[in-house]
Structure 1
Amino acid sequence: MNQIKPSKKISSTATATLHNTILWTALITPLLDDGAIDFPSLKQLAISQSDAGNGIVLLGSTGEGLALTSQEQVKIVDFVCQLSLSAPLMVAVGGCQLTEQVNWITACNKLPISAYLLGSPIYAKPGAVGQTQWFSALLDAANFPCMLYNVPSRSGVSIAIETLQAVQNHQHCWALKEASGDLNQVLAYRQYCPDIALYSGEDAMMPYLAQAGVKGLVSVCSNAWPAATHQYVELSLAGETQGLFPLWQNAVDELFQVASPIPVKILMHQNKMITTPFLRAPLTHLELSDCNSLLASDKQINQWLENQAK
């Protein structure tokens, strides 16, 4: 595999920030009544994540990245970059057309971001050889550290152990977001690919996966609970899990009772964090007609956070 040197030097401070960020929020994309991006709400959401000490992932599946136009994607990344937050920014790269993804990375290389989230190609279901070619091309194009994303529920196939072994020593391959929900898969990655940092992509499994050596969490629920989720991750990594069950399991279940990010957008709208609960088709907030249990979980999480401060 051919490797290239980055066109801009990645500072040791920036690298340390990446490694010290234990919680990354897969940020939602707030929308207005007419379906346009709600930039004032986006600003407030990004600031609240930065204030909580969380990293920010833009344009992932939680951010409905593939439902946005390329022009909207550029505007979102550029807008958040211009906020000059202390939080590190990670930009998602997803789809199934390699040239488009390489071009997207090339454009983002010019922006003051921190990292990329490299998704498995959707729909095609490539084997280990095709996966290796895909990720190698994206890693070669990147000027920043990259987190690969194993999410078989969306891509249709897991990242092969052979693929991760082939790319784990690439100069831009930093981490793996593991969202299979399979503890055995996590343990296999840990055993055969020790040179890559593992992050949980499953909110509810964080206490378990912390014991398996993950470094942190890439989260949906931290959209609604930035500070509480940060505390949850800190306690999980410290092995202080008393009081986390079944509270957090139940809360996460509420946020995934229908396709994400429908419930979290509904909850954030109820809490006046965003102006509408709207999503891009084919997702719709009308999928969830009763949010009483969701609101009950929200109350319990907020009470738990208050108790943590006592």
Structure 2
Amino acid sequence: MTDIQLWTALITPMKEDGSIHFKNLDEIISRQEEAGNGILVLGSTGEGLALAHNEKKEIVDFISDRGNSVPIMVGVGGFNLKTQTDWISYCNEKNIESFLLVNPLYSKPGLKGQFEWFKSLMDVSDKPCMIYNIPSRTGVKLFPEVLQQLKHHGNLWAVKEASGSISEFQEFRKAVPSIPLFSGDDGLMPFFATAGGSGLVSVASNIWPKETKLYVEKSLKGDTASLFPIWTDAVKALFSASNPIPLKVLMKEKGLIERSVLRSPLTNEELSSTDHLRASDEAIINWYQLNK
């Protein structure tokens, strides 16, 4: 797991009636396996909080029984501690490799509360954990002091930083210099790499698994001349509406999934045009052919 530089925050493909499309799920996992990317399921890109508990179990069971050739990380998110520790205990028994832990939603805990939250989750886990800073979704930033207090916990494996701030990233780097830091923003990967980042947890790699892997490799090597503005424009297109709306729409247009169905309150009607998505898709494919 330590040699995985790119983790794909996988979508959850759905049928027209909104049920999980397991055939499509198997197919998109296979594309990630071909590229050698780690896979994160049931994160925000996977609409994890919009899925019923039994649906999340079905997805983890399906993946656990599948026999994957790449490591699987499972998202842990919500606000009820007992619910989340029970979820971790359930997943402990499955063939998955790690957990992604996020601050509790809505409650906005302070330093002490965050420490107790993450420690309680990691104490229950039998697997390595990545702590995730995403204040735009949780309403509160992860305090660097919390990481300092947790840095010797045996299950703290990595940190995912998605605040959009390079200075925030540098604060975490200073707080836990020996713990791998991953960018949670596709577009900031080249900048985070120069600040000591170890890799990327990506949205874009759902569509471009091999292309994004090359993007990460070039970023980490400092070979960034060819990355701009192509990748900047592509990431902007993917976030032209709330994630994963543009992502699912483009994947459907490319025939990677059967339907671009989303769980309410997300809707494809938020996306007025796909011209920018198609243009970015063509640009990324051409870039890969020239640089691979």
When the two structures are superposed, what TM-score results if normalisation uses the length of structure 2? 0.99
- 1:177 alignment counterpart: 160
The answer as to whether partners of 1:54 and 1:230 remain within 8 angstroms in 2 is yes
Report how many residues are paired.
292
Amino acid at match of 1:104: W
| 1:86 lines up with 2:69 in the alignment | yes
The answer as to whether partners of 1:169 and 1:195 remain within 8 angstroms in 2 is no
User: Shift in Å at residue 162 of structure 1?
Assistant: 1.3
| Deviation by residue 1:188-244 (Cα, 9 ceiling, x = unmatched) | 111122232100000000001001111000000000101100000000001100110
- 1:283 alignment counterpart: 266
Structure 2: gaps (5+ residues): none
User: Shift in Å at residue 289 of structure 1?
Assistant: 2.0
- 1:216 alignment counterpart: 199
Q: Distance in 2 between matches of 1:51 and 1:165?
A: 37
| 1:99 lines up with 2:82 in the alignment | yes
- 2:173 alignment counterpart: 190
User: Shift in Å at residue 94 of structure 1?
Assistant: 0.2
- 2:148 alignment counterpart: 165
Please point out which of 32, 38, 60 is paired with 2:15.
32
When the two structures are superposed, what TM-score results if normalisation uses the length of structure 1? 0.93
Q: Distance in 1 between matches of 2:95 and 2:259?
A: 29
| 1:110 lines up with 2:93 in the alignment | yes
| Deviation by residue 1:95-147 (Cα, 9 ceiling, x = unmatched) | 00000000000000000110000011111111110000000000000000000
The answer as to whether partners of 1:46 and 1:80 remain within 8 angstroms in 2 is no
Please point out which of 91, 101, 105 is paired with 1:122.
105
Please point out which of 243, 248, 251 is paired with 1:268.
251
- 1:19 alignment counterpart: 2
| Deviation by residue 1:7-61 (Cα, 9 ceiling, x = unmatched) | xxxxxxxxxxx11000000000000000000000000000110110100001000
| Deviation by residue 1:147-198 (Cα, 9 ceiling, x = unmatched) | 0000000011111111111111100000000001111111111112223210
Q: Percent identity?
A: 48
User: Shift in Å at residue 77 of structure 1?
Assistant: 1.0
| Deviation by residue 1:223-267 (Cα, 9 ceiling, x = unmatched) | 010110000000000110011001000000000011000000000
Amino acid at match of 1:130: G
Q: Distance in 2 between matches of 1:53 and 1:168?
A: 28
- 2:220 alignment counterpart: 237
- 2:39 alignment counterpart: 56
User: Shift in Å at residue 268 of structure 1?
Assistant: 0.2
Q: Distance in 1 between matches of 2:136 and 2:207?
A: 23
- 2:186 alignment counterpart: 203
- 2:60 alignment counterpart: 77
**SS of equivalent to 1:20:** coil
User: Shift in Å at residue 83 of structure 1?
Assistant: 1.7
**SS of equivalent to 2:160:** strand
Instruction: Show structure 1 runs of 4+ deviating over 2 A.
Output: none
| 1:140 lines up with 2:140 in the alignment | no
Q: Distance in 2 between matches of 1:85 and 1:161?
A: 34
**SS of equivalent to 1:72:** helix
Please point out which of 152, 160, 180 is paired with 2:135.
152
The answer as to whether partners of 1:201 and 1:219 remain within 8 angstroms in 2 is yes
User: Shift in Å at residue 307 of structure 1?
Assistant: 1.2
Q: Distance in 2 between matches of 1:225 and 1:83?
A: 23
| 1:131 lines up with 2:114 in the alignment | yes
**SS of equivalent to 1:82:** helix
CA-based RMSD: 0.7
